[in-house]
Chain A
């Protein structure tokens, strides 16, 4: 079940530069998307979300863009900081309204000082 896909397993950027993490989805019924961040030995932490009625949502250094026609969303982190190094998961709620989240495979971001 590959409804949410993150095709890049890893990304490395220099501190201060922009990090762009990508996510694609196949189910056009998805109307809400979330990004979670995960450090080793910790659970995923909610980062930012976007509703399908918007194409952009910004929270400080983090911005999520949604392109519904392409079924694609991206997370921009600018400027990137070494503390941003983590695994980033894209997720979408399942259609049953029970809170089930469908996660992508994750992208490991490394921000080099």
Chain B
């Protein structure tokens, strides 16, 4: 069964450093998303992406964040200058025609020290 994959599974970085989180969505999907979950809190929407453009971004997704689909398979989330409060589990998701039925990757646990 097709699945969303994410790398790395864990990332530890120093505050102020740039990180790139990688995702490979399901191959025939059209819509792509990033969510995050801070420990003990709810899953929060960050950004949706369709047709090589951001469809919607949350207020969390400030200028330090960017997304890119550099080729036909990868979907990346970049945080330019990490802050302590960026420590969270980051989930990539993708969907086909039914946008609401999203398939999530296993997540990348980001720890900013």
Contacts and interface: CB of A to CB of B under 8 A. Distances in A.
Interface of A: 32, 34, 36, 41-46, 49, 89, 93-94, 96-106
Interface residues of B, number: 26
Given A43-B4, A106-B42, A99 B102 contact: yes
B87 interface: no
Contact of A101 (B4, B102, B103, B106): B102
B103 to A, nearest CB: 7
Contact of A34 (B35, B44, B100): B100
Contacts of B31: 99
Interface of B: 4, 31, 33, 35, 41-45, 48, 50, 55-56, 58, 91, 93, 95, 99-107
B104 A43 contact: yes
Residue with the highest number of chain B CB atoms closer than 10 Å, among A43, A94, A97: A43
A105 B106 contact: no
Contacts of B33: 99-101
A100 B4 contact: no
Contacts of B107: 41-43
